């Protein structure tokens, strides 16, 4: 059992379907498991969502950042996995 098996993602805010929230949690955990840097994690998540849901996606990953973003309705989530924050959103 690795670290991620014991850590449950904590969603802070979202505007998307429950199915998409589930996808974000799964993809983010996989990205953290496979990738070595925050940049690689954000690229992994962004590319996955671009393939699944098309359009222009943005993903910010880190332990300390502020944000103020504009996003398409129904395409936004902000969550934590352990100490790592993930912000994912789609723009027109």
pLDDT tens digits, one per residue of 25-81: 999 999 999 999 999 999 999 999 999 999 999 999 999 999 999 999 999 999 999
Q: Which two tokens stand for residue 34?
A: 């496979």
The domains found in the chain, sorted by start residue, are 3-91 (3.30.740.10)
Q: Which two tokens stand for residue 86?
A: 């993930």
Other Cβ atoms within 10 Å of 63 Cβ, number: 10
pLDDT tens digits, one per residue of 18-40: 999 999 999 999 999 999 999 99
């Amino acid at each position: 059992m690795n670290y991620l098996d014991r850590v449950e993602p904590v969603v802070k805010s979202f505007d998307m379907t429950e199915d998409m929230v589930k996808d974000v949690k799964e993809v983010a955990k996989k990205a953290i498991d496979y990738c070595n840097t925050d940049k690689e994690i954000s690229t992994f998540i962004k590319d996955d969502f671009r393939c699944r849901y098309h359009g222009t996606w943005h993903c910010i990953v880190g332990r300390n950042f502020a944000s103020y973003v504009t996003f398409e309705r129904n395409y936004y989530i902000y969550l934590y996995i352990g100490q790592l924050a993930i912000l994912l959103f789609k723009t027109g």
